[in-house]
Chains A and B, each alone.
Chain A
């Protein structure tokens, strides 16, 4: 079962534009994480936001969390062709046991 569902499933933008991806989850969470995956590779952790936080920044990344709506968003500003990848949200529910991933957003950034 998937804890998170990303929206949109696919996103195509030009270099320099901002990319926004949304994630909805089902159960209560301790924290929500975003990962990136280049085609055919493993996943890389990008950023984590705790349930008592509303917004977090890391470089060109901005993550928001709305626990009342059970949703999160990932914003990548000033996108680059190298940002082309799939992005997944993931969360633990009920403790640090298993991290459950959504289906992901496939981002394509065109030069």
Chain B
């Protein structure tokens, strides 16, 4: 399967613990996005990378959140000192950005975080 993969699919943690999610995009895609989605809502943009450069971060991304894409391939999203309000589905998506392309995003299945 050459789609976007995310790991883990589910994570239950206690408040105050750190968690890390990994995303492996489609191999030739140069853009990688992170979104957060709570129940009954649409995905909220968190951040995106163009190759290894993090080009934009949402104000939703507090200083407890950090994302990296060290070699322009896979990405990690770390949440430090988790809070119950961090409970959500974290979605990763990738796309191939070239002049005149459609901007279609390919999503992974998400990583569901539950903070107790």
Contact = CB atoms under 8 A, between A and B. Distances in A.
Interface string B43-81: 111001000000110000000000000000000000000
Nearest to B103: A96
Given A99-B105, A103-B42, 13 more contacts: A40-B110, A41-B110, A42-B91, A42-B110, A43-B107, A44-B107, A88-B43, A92-B103, A98-B56, A102-B42, A103-B40, A104-B42, A106-B40
A97 B57 CA distance: 11
Nearest to B98: A96
A44 B109 CA distance: 10
Interface of B: 4, 33, 35, 40-45, 48, 55-56, 91, 93, 97, 101-110, 112
Contact of B33 (A98, A102, A103): A98
9 contacts: A31-B102, A31-B103, A41-B109, A41-B110, A42-B4, A45-B105, A90-B42, A98-B48, A98-B56
Nearest to B9: A40
Interface string A58-84: 000000000000000000000000000
Size category of the binding interface on chain A: 20 to 34
Contacts of B41: 103-104
A25 interface: no
Contacts of B93: 43
A18 interface: no
User: Chain B CB within 10 Å — which of A33, A98, A103 has the most?
Assistant: A98
Instruction: Give 10 closest A-B pairs by Cβ, nearest first.
Output: A42-B107, A101-B42, A43-B107, A42-B109, A96-B103, A45-B104, A103-B42, A98-B45, A101-B43, A104-B42
